[in-house]
A and B are shown apart, each in its own frame.
Chain A
Amino acid sequence: MDNLAYVLPQTNPLASELPLLQAEQLSQWFAPGKGFAPLDLSLYRGEVLAIVGESGSGKTTLLKALSGRLTPQQGQVLYRHGEQAANLYQISEAQRRNIMRQDFGIVHQHPMDGLRPRISAGGNIGERLMEVGWRHYGDIRAQAKSWLSAVEIDIDRIDDLPITFSGGMAQRLQIARNLVTHPKVVFMDEPTGGLDVSVQARLLDLIRKLVSELQLAVVIVTHDLAVARLLAHRIMVMKQGEVVEAGLTDRVLDDPQHPYTQLLVSSVLQQ
């Protein structure tokens, strides 16, 4: 019986159930009250996690630490690709940038932060492909066109500059640019902030469609509970750097336990 472990198949049938992204005791404080307290977090394939909370509650800082853009003071972030797990802040910078380029997508709140304003829309989408070694103009252009139509931008605008795009279109272009290399995890920081309500609704529809089609894992930072309700499977509520409540979206929003969550939910206009 002692060597039963050797008899069993080496491959773990539950390996695919391991979280794609895992944070352990992750923390970063810029000053007391600015940053976030040690927290654990797991994100599985195809899952959408929303981080909600008021301004200054540490949401964006957490997102940066999770996406490899901010070395945290404490804790680690594990990213599983294939059989291996990479500790984002212990591997070399070259490896980290490689993971960020190939497997991560980052959607900024302001589209121009994530786009090159003086490069055509097609070039913006194609840049990610050229970064990973594409060297065929026709293929790059074909991919750019198919992604423009996937995000509902007229393909006639492929050679226009992003600065000539409306806010909603630029945001959709930014999403296309991030998804073209088929990332595994997409980090979104207030993707619908600053857009008017009808454009927001279309964008949310689009994100929801792409997430389910591509089986993306998404971490989305928002202060808008409606966005969280519509997109997220799970939700994490932050206040002053602390996670005050976490759980399934419906459970948290329909039956909030923490006083702050109750306040958040009750402050949304009810119909």
Chain B
Amino acid sequence: MQRFNQHLATLDADLGYNFGYLDEQTKRMIRRAILKGIAIPGYQVPFGGREMPMPYGWGTGGVMLSAAVLGRDDVFKVIDQGADDTTNAVSIRQFFAKVCQIDTTTSTDAASVIQTRHRIPEQALKHGQILIYQVPIPEPLRFIEPRETETQKMHALAEYGPMQVKLYEDIVKYGYIATSYAYPVMVNQRYLMDPSPIPKFDNPKLNQSPALMLFGAGREKRIYCIPPYTEVASLDFADHPFAVQQWSEPCSLCHSTTSFLDEVLIDDQGQRMFVCSDTDYCQQQQASKQEPCHG
């Protein structure tokens, strides 16, 4: 305890905030929850969520996780729907630049910690990187079972049949599994998990990922994790296998045919274009295509 107090005293007092905004005890509590979550991949660990200087639904869960894991040497990147330049991403990046005084970046490659809302970067993640997700509703079974006591029991006994019913109903209504985001996955062949509202396009990137994945739900006060190199399988039927979205045309800016595209209306006549949702990836692709011309 002595050593911990000494450590507290050495923290920068002139900033007005503790490093990472949260106090050290809270960060320890969150780290304990993270460690438990890593030990049981996909299991939702309850934690004592704090009030953050932003409303619920804007990423408080993700911000608390970032505050707990960021260190002085980290380089921080924030994306919102894949973009580095949207209001939410810019605000959270500036927030941590201020309360941690650490380097921030928009490059996926240079970042050591990436907080994300609704996307996994197109560029493959590396071992040692941490991806932090903002989660609105952590419980994948909630739609079919409103009682928390009952969903906990279903997780404990691995009774996941009702989740399959949702996919069945999709096929009945649309002829194929139409669930396109928050697509349920099975982690390490044990726990059913909601991968936050990422498009199912990103689900395959969860499987055997070299990066550590942390999921934080601020309002519901749950943390769950996928350690590196963990098996993550998307639910499906034998005769209706899991498949990701596809587009009929490439990105209008970088001409990539392999990235997740957003459809953007560009005028009142209903003209539209498709562009990468991952802005960093799109810019890199454009740059690499221009280089040969200059050279």
Chain A interface residues toward B at CB < 8 A: 93-94, 97, 116, 119-120, 122-123, 126-128, 130-132, 135-138, 140, 159
Contact = CB atoms under 8 A, between A and B. Distances in A.
B171 interface: yes
A137 B171 contact: yes
A88 B169 CA distance: 34
Contacts of A140: 168
Contacts of B156: 94
A138 B156 CA distance: 29
A145 to B, nearest CB: 13
Interface stretch (B13-21, B107-115, B158-166): B158-166
Contact of A130 (B161, B173, B239): B161
A135 B161 CA distance: 10
B153 to A, nearest CB: 8
A127 B162 contact: yes
17 contacts: A93-B157, A94-B156, A97-B159, A119-B165, A120-B169, A123-B165, A126-B165, A126-B168, A127-B165, A130-B161, A130-B164, A131-B162, A132-B161, A135-B236, A137-B237, A138-B239, A140-B168
Nearest to B236: A135
B157 A130 contact: no
Nearest to B156: A94
Contacts of B172: 120, 122-123, 159
Given A122-B172, A126-B168, A140-B168, A94 B239 contact: no
Given A126-B165, A135-B238, 5 more contacts: A97-B159, A123-B172, A130-B161, A135-B237, A137-B238
B240 interface: yes
Contact of A135 (B157, B164, B169): B164
A154 B270 CA distance: 45
Interface in B156-202: 156-157, 159, 161-162, 164-165, 168-169, 171-173
Contacts of A116: 144, 165
Contacts of A122: 168, 172
Nearest to B143: A118
A120 B169 CA distance: 7
Given A136-B238, A136-B239, A137-B237, A130 B159 contact: no
Highest count of chain A CB atoms <10 Å: which of B157, B164, B169, B239: B164
Contacts of A93: 153, 157
Nearest to B240: A137
Nearest to A120: B172
A137 B162 CA distance: 14
What does DSSP make chain B's interface, helix, strand, loop or mixed?
helix
B250 to A, nearest CB: 33
Contacts of B168: 122-123, 126, 130, 137, 140
B169 A123 contact: yes
Contacts of B169: 119-120, 123
A96 B238 CA distance: 29
Nearest to A121: B172
Contacts of A132: 161
A103 to B, nearest CB: 16
Contacts of A123: 165, 168-169, 172
Contacts of A120: 169, 172
A208 to B, nearest CB: 30
Contacts of B161: 127-128, 130-132
A104 to B, nearest CB: 15
Interface string B225-254: 000000000001111100000000000000
A97 B159 CA distance: 10
A106 B162 CA distance: 18
Nearest to A126: B168
Nearest to A122: B172
The 10 lowest CB-CB distance pairs between A and B, nearest first, are: A131-B161, A130-B164, A137-B237, A130-B161, A136-B238, A94-B157, A127-B165, A138-B239, A159-B172, A137-B239
A123 B165 CA distance: 6
Contacts of B171: 137
Contacts of A135: 164, 236-238
A227 to B, nearest CB: 32
A127 B168 CA distance: 9
Contacts of B159: 97, 131
Contacts of A137: 168, 171, 237-240
